[in-house]
């Protein structure tokens, strides 16, 4: 039996990211090929250096989907071991559990997560049983997985936990842990939970469960509360939290990995308490933008100007007062935290300072009259074309005509 480094980390108060973009992300109508899954797992783990396996569980896929999916999971387990802890996810069926174990067998720090319904409504739909019967069946599945290969850690996700009975979940969280489960994941499967209810669920189950139970979160974003609810779970003492790059997951997704890691890395005392020690090795958050762009290119999920942490608007300045004191208008320094250098962008909101700065960047030096003329031109152009950003090439062409009238080109 090998050590469960994820359970050890959570028990020590360290934060563990359960990364879902390759698995739950598939339900957002995306498909990551096996080579990309390996690359993403490695890059995610690399943020934590040698402690990647202790800080990242990479959900590589759902082996029961098809032979190709099984092989993709198997490839991640073989080629990303040592960078992360690799997990396979399966339904609560004996054949699926055996298949999941087989897909990660032999990989260091391998895990399987078995999904078991916890609410009465979900139990009737998923397994045609009562919630108690489904959860009792989950205990048997944990024992099966441990008997198949006790070097593979087994976790249980309680589906629809947000609408389930807290006392029943606590009872079976204790039984599942006694049977050998490393983590018991409470899922807001439909993303309908409000923060106060989320807090009540985690505090209630944690208080009533046995002291050996380690809870994890899997919280969807249908009401836009995935991040808020995950922070509430952390405030309740949960240390294993599910997230997904760019927030990609079923329907409206779940908390975005880049947002969660940035917050936890740079404001841990406010979120976890002044004495919190959330990392064996703190994540290198300057890697977040590049990984997010990589995921965007692979999946086709766009990064917009308003995407927090990794969007195209981060680090950009287009108006006068933020130009004078950028730190006053940002919650963090993008260059220090994310490695994103500040960029001055020309729009219809530009001040004379902004115009002068961009002109200087382009190697043009304007007097007062030229600066005012350039500012009037770019504002007029923005409204005439209906496009707010004036690119450097168009502005440079205009400045050439302004400073050397013989070179003037049509606006």
- pLDDT of amino acid 344: 86
Residue 310 lies in a domain: no
Total number of domains constituting the chain: 2
- pLDDT of amino acid 189: 95
Looking at the fold, whether 292 and 405 belong to one and the same domain comes out as: no
Looking at the fold, whether 80 and 123 belong to one and the same domain comes out as: yes
Give the whole-angstrom CA distance, residue 341 versus residue 334.
Answer: 7
Point out which residues pair with 87 in neighbouring strands. 59, 111
Residue 259: helix, strand or coil by DSSP? Answer: helix
Residue 308 lies in a domain: no
Looking at the fold, whether 401 and 358 belong to one and the same domain comes out as: yes
Looking at the fold, whether 52 and 163 belong to one and the same domain comes out as: yes
- pLDDT of amino acid 120: 97
- Taking only the tens place, the pLDDT of each residue in 124-172 is 999 999 999 999 999 999 999 999 999 999 999 999 999 999 999 999 9
Strand runs labelled E in 234-383: 240-243, 316-317, 343-344
Which of 35, 93, 39, 107 is CA-nearest to residue 62? 93
Under 8 Å CB-to-CB from 253, ≥6 apart: which residues? 28, 220, 221, 226, 244, 246, 247
- pLDDT of amino acid 253: 95
Looking at the fold, whether 277 and 344 belong to one and the same domain comes out as: no
Looking at the fold, whether 195 and 281 belong to one and the same domain comes out as: yes
Give the whole-angstrom CA distance, residue 116 versus residue 158.
Answer: 5
Looking at the fold, whether 257 and 118 belong to one and the same domain comes out as: yes
Q: Note down the domain range covering 354.
A: 315-411
Looking at the fold, whether 175 and 230 belong to one and the same domain comes out as: yes
Looking at the fold, whether 125 and 48 belong to one and the same domain comes out as: yes
Angle made by CA atoms 94, 100, 104, in degrees to the nearest 5: 150
- Positions of the chain with pLDDT lower than 50, given as ranges: none
Looking at the fold, whether 290 and 334 belong to one and the same domain comes out as: no
Q: Tell me the DSSP string of 69-99.
A: HHHHHHHHHHHSBTTBEEEEEEESSHHHHHH
Residue 273: helix, strand or coil by DSSP? Answer: coil
Residue 366 lies in a domain: yes
Looking at the fold, whether 322 and 289 belong to one and the same domain comes out as: no
- pLDDT of amino acid 1: 65
- pLDDT of amino acid 409: 53
Give the whole-angstrom CA distance, residue 15 versus residue 9.
Answer: 7
């Amino acid at each position: 039996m090998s050590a469960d480094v994820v359970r050890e980390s959570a028990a020590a108060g360290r934060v563990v990211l359960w990364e879902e973009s390759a698995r739950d992300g598939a339900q957002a109508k995306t498909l990551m090929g096996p080579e990309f899954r390996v690359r993403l797992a490695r890059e995610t783990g690399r943020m934590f250096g040698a402690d990647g396996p202790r800080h990242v569980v990479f959900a590589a896929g759902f082996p029961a989907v098809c032979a190709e999916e099984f092989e993709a999971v198997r490839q991640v387990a073989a080629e990303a071991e040592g960078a992360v802890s690799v997990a396979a996810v399966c339904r609560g069926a004996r054949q699926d559990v055996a298949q999941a174990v087989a897909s990660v067998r032999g990989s260091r720090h391998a895990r399987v997560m078995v999904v078991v319904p916890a609410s009465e409504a979900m139990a009737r739909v998923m397994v045609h049983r009562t919630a108690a019967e489904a959860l009792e069946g989950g205990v048997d599945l944990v024992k099966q997985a441990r008997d198949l290969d006790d070097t593979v850690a087994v976790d249980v996700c309680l589906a629809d936990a947000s609408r389930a009975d807290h006392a029943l979940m606590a009872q079976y969280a204790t039984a599942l842990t006694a049977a050998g489960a490393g983590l018991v994941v409470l899922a807001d499967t439909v993303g309908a939970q409000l923060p106060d209810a989320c807090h009540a669920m985690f505090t209630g189950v944690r208080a009533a469960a046995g002291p050996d139970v380690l809870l994890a979160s899997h919280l969807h974003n249908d009401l836009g509360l995935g991040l808020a609810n995950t922070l509430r779970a952390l405030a309740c003492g949960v240390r294993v939290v599910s997230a997904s790059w760019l927030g990609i997951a079923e329907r409206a997704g779940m908390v975005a990995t880049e947002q969660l890691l940035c917050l936890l890395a740079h404001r841990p005392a406010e979120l976890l308490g002044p004495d919190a020690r959330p990392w064996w090795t703190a994540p290198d958050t300057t890697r977040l933008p590049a990984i997010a762009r990589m995921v965007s290119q692979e999946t086709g999920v766009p990064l917009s100007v308003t995407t927090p942490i990794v969007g195209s608007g981060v680090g950009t300045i287009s108006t006068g007062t933020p130009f004078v004191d950028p730190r006053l208008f940002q919650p963090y320094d993008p260059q220090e935290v994310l490695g994103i250098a500040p960029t001055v962008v020309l729009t219809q909101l530009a001040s004379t300072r902004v115009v002068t700065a961009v002109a200087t960047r382009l190697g043009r030096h304007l007097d007062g009259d030229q600066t005012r003329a350039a500012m009037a031109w770019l504002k007029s152009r923005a409204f005439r074309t209906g496009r707010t950003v004036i690119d450097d090439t168009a502005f440079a062409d205009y400045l050439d005509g302004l400073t050397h009238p013989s070179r003037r080109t049509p606006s």
